[in-house]
Structure 1
C-alpha cells in the first residue's frame, strides 16, 4: 500500500514568478532600467549641474517608476494600463466595416484635419449556414448552449463525481475551448400576451382569473425590475490550414463538440449546437447587450435577400 501526499495547486496559475524578493521580472526591469538611465544622466551632466538640481529632477522620475512598477488599477499593472491608454489615444476612433485599407482623401480635402476612418477588423467574418463562425485566417468556431446543474444541492459524493467528469473533459481537450457565462435580458411580453389570449379559452372562470392575475404579476415584475437570465456557452475553435482547411476545421470542431456533449452528458449537462440564426442573434446581442433581443424574423443570414413588407 502506497501513501500519496496531496499537492496544493495555486488558484491563479498565471501569477508571474518572483525573481528578487516580491518583485517580478517586469518590476525589476522597470526599476533597474530607470536607475540605469538616471545614473547615466548624472554621469553625463553631474559635473556641470548642481547636485540639488539633479536630485530635484530625479525624484519625480523615481517616484513615477516606482508607481509604474508596483501600482495597479482595477487589477491591471499600472504600466500595462498606461500603455493601453496611450495605444487607445493614438488609435483611430472612426472605424468602418471594411476588409481593405481605407484610401487617403483627395488633395482638395487636405484642409480637413480630421483623421480619416480606419477599417474595423472584427475577429468574426460571418456565420455560415451550418452555424459555425468564420474567423478568417484563425479558423472556425462552433458555439453550443450548455444547460446547468445545481452543484450546491448535490451530496459530497455527487459533487466529487461532477468534478471528476468535468476534469476528465478538461484533460481530453485537444484544442482551444472557451466557457462563456453571460447574462441577457428576458422579454416577457410574448408570454404575457399568450397568457391573456389563453385565459379567454379556459373552461372555468377561476382558471381564467388566475391566468390573468399571473399575467398582471409578470407585467408588474418586468416593469419594476430588469429581468435577466444566465446563459452558458461552450465555444470550440479549430484553425484552418490549406486550401480546404475550412471544411476540415469545421469537421474537427463539430467532432470535438460532439465529444464534449457526450462527456458532459454523464453529469446531467446537455450541449445544444446553435444554428445560424441563433449565432447571428448572439453576435448581435454582444454588440449591444442592453438592447432587447431581436425576433428571428428580423435576423437575415449571410446571402439572404432583405425585403420589406408593404404595397407597391
Structure 2
C-alpha cells in the first residue's frame, strides 16, 4: 500500500561544533497526493471502478436480483481497490500487471542474429514459437572505451569508482562528503546511472601467488608470516562466500542535432557519434575529478575493461568465449592438417 513519506531528521555537527538538524525526505520520487491522500493514478482507477459498478447496477437492477448484483460488483470493486492501493516491489499493481503481461507476451528464446529470424518452410511443422532476435543495448565499443548505443541512443562511458568508509567518519566529515557529492549531482545536466554490483571473489589465486613468492623473501620470519597469511586467505575463502563490490557510473550523451549538411547519412552519423563521444568522455573526466576531491578513487574504463564489465554483467562468473580483435589486427583462421 502507498505509505506517506516520512521525513527523518539527521543530526550533524558543523566545523564550529554546533549541532544542526537537517530534514532528509524519505521518498523524493513519491507522486503528489490529489484528494484524500490518493494520487491521480489511484483516483483514476477508483473512478473507473466506480463507473463500471454503477453501470452494472443501473443496467441490470430491473432484471437481476439484488444478491446477484452484489456478487458481480464485489469482485470488480475488490480488483479495482487492489489495483489502486496495493504495491509489489515498490510498483503499483496496475503497472506490475502490465509488466507481467508484457513479459508473458515476449519471446523467451532469443538468438544472436543480424536480421529477424525467418520462419521455416510450409512443409516443416513447427512446435512452439520462433526465437526472437537478441537486441543488446550496446552495438559497439570504441577503442577509447565509449560504447555506441543501439537504435540511435548516442554513446555512453563507464566510470568505475571505489567506496569510502562513511560510517567511520566524524559527523563533520560525513556532512562534508554529502555536500560534495550533492554538488556533483547538482552539476549534472544529463541522466547518469549509478550501478552497485556485488560478485563473488576467489582468493585461491592470491594465496597461491603469496605461497610461491614466500621462499624469495630475505628473512625466514617474513616467509613464515607470508605462509600464515596465505593459509588464512585459503581458510576464509573456504569458510565464507566472499563478495566484492564495485560501483559503476554510466555517463551517456545523445547524438547532437545537426543542421542539414551535404555529407552522406553514414558520414553524418559518424560525425555525430564522434562529437557525442568527446562530450561523454569530458563529462566522465570531470566526474573522476569531482569524486577525487571526495577521496573516492575513480577511473574511466578503456575498451578492454568496458568489454570485461559488460561480459561479466551478462554472464556472471563465466569467462569470455572469444577475444575481440583490434581494428588494425589481422584476423586469421588456422586448421590442423593444412598449411
Q: How would you bin the TM-score normalised by the shorter chain?
A: 0.7 to 0.9
Q: 1:129 aligns with which of 143, 149, 153?
A: 143
Q: How many aligned positions are there?
A: 303
Distance 2:332 2:50 in 1: 64
Show the counterpart of 1:114: 128
Shift of the alpha carbon at 1:311? 9.2
Shift of the alpha carbon at 1:301? 4.9
* Mean Cα deviation higher: 56-65 or 38-47: 38-47
The question of whether the paired residues in 1 share the 8 Å contact of 2:120 and 2:126 is answered with no
Show structure 2 runs of 5+ residues with no match: 1-20, 257-267
Distance 1:45 1:113 in 2: 46
RMSD: 2.6
The question of whether the paired residues in 2 share the 8 Å contact of 1:99 and 1:121 is answered with no
Distance 2:87 2:33 in 1: 17
Distance 1:271 1:177 in 2: 15
Whether 2:181 is the aligned partner of 1:166: answer: yes
Show the counterpart of 1:40: 55
The question of whether the paired residues in 1 share the 8 Å contact of 2:157 and 2:280 is answered with yes
- TM-score under structure 1 normalisation? 0.87
- TM-score under structure 2 normalisation? 0.81
Q: 1:254 aligns with which of 259, 278, 281?
A: 281
Shift of the alpha carbon at 1:157? 3.0
Q: 1:113 to 1:84 in 2, by over 3 A?
A: same
Distance 1:179 1:288 in 2: 20
Show structure 1 runs of 5+ residues with no match: 1-5
The question of whether the paired residues in 2 share the 8 Å contact of 1:128 and 1:302 is answered with no
* Mean Cα deviation higher: 153-162 or 269-278: 153-162
Q: 1:300 aligns with which of 318, 324, 327?
A: 324
Show the counterpart of 1:3: none
Whether 2:201 is the aligned partner of 1:186: answer: yes
5 Å-filtered alignment, 1:49-64, equals 49-64=64-79
Show the counterpart of 1:22: 37
The question of whether the paired residues in 2 share the 8 Å contact of 1:132 and 1:142 is answered with yes
5 Å-filtered alignment, 1:74-89, equals 74-89=89-104
Deviation by residue 1:141-160 (Cα, 9 ceiling, x = unmatched): 11111123222333333333
